[in-house]
Amino acid sequence: MRHERIALAAALAGAAWGWAAVAQQPVNTTQTKLYNTVKQKLAAGKQVFGITISSPDPNIYCAAANAGYDFTWIEMQHSPLTFGDVAHMIYACRGAQAMPFIRVPDATESDIQKATDIGAIGIIVPTVDTVAKAEAAVKWAKYPPQGRRSQGSGQYGTLWGADYRQTANANMFVGIMIETPIGVDNAEKIASVPGIDMIFAASTDLGNFSGTKQGDPQYEAMVKRIHDVVLAHNIVLGGPQAWKDKPGFRFFQAPGETAILRLGAQVNLGLTPAPAARESRPGVAPIEGTEK
């Protein structure tokens, strides 16, 4: 009996140690399940397009998300949209064709945590001038060990499945925008930050912050610098839809829902697009905030 008790105690101790070892193992974040179709298409070498959304109306959002675009560029930097608005929009149109991406106001824990918790599968961070800001974009978008996103409540599980914690890092798309001459100067260091999926050459603000315009040698040199550095680091290069025929660009921001509505109405009525709706020169992007 004494030997049996010793054997039983040893077995229980071994089992306890085994459970403790399992509990201490890090969560596997290298799952291959990929439900972010934007990442799938980019991996296949395709271009992707996202309609810009500034309206809080879920009906407008669902119409846009199922209109044929690859993702929705939900605009929270230059709009009054709240995270409550956007949570309602994304949930109302769960299962939509377009992946929900959010341009957050800044690369803060609060902004990115809220965006990911409400179900955004892509984060776009504006005005990245420094390595620190690029690193913050990845840090707050990714769970450990790749980042420092905390695990809280949210509607992400309903949208992406019960195994979301195990698959989120592989599916989360992290994009940053270079919009200033300072960012251009730091492009090499910024592009070296691990975890960046896309770098966007911001057509409007490159001119805004430099005092130049498209076509000026200084402006075009900044775009070329971003282009060359990004592609050299095997990162997806983004820009406005007007640049869809420029070599190397594969991720595009399309116009907003109001511009698309107007253009769609003109097509429906068989009307010639108004002058403001036409590009004066091929490859010249419209100024952000104006209709194309």
> How high is the pLDDT of residue 28?
44
> Which domain, by its residues, includes 110?
35-277
Q: Lowest mean pLDDT of 221-225, 238-242, 282-286, name the range.
A: 282-286
- 168: in domain: yes
- Residue 78 annotated as catalytic: yes
Q: Give the mean pLDDT of 98-110.
A: 98
- 17: in domain: no
- 193: in domain: yes
- 14: in domain: no
Q: Do residues 245 and 283 touch, judged by C-beta distance below 8 A?
A: yes
Q: Give the mean pLDDT of 124-140.
A: 98
What is the total count of domains within the chain?
1
Q: Give the active site residue among 3, 78, 227, 233.
A: 78
> How high is the pLDDT of residue 24?
36
> How high is the pLDDT of residue 17?
35
CATH of the domain at 58: 3.20.20.60
DSSP of 104-139, one letter per residue? -SSS-HHHHHHHHHTT-SEEEE----SHHHHHHHHH
Give the tens place of pLDDT for each residue, 23-65. 333 444 444 589 999 999 999 999 999 999 999 999 999 999 9
Give the tens place of pLDDT for each residue, 69-78. 999 999 999 9
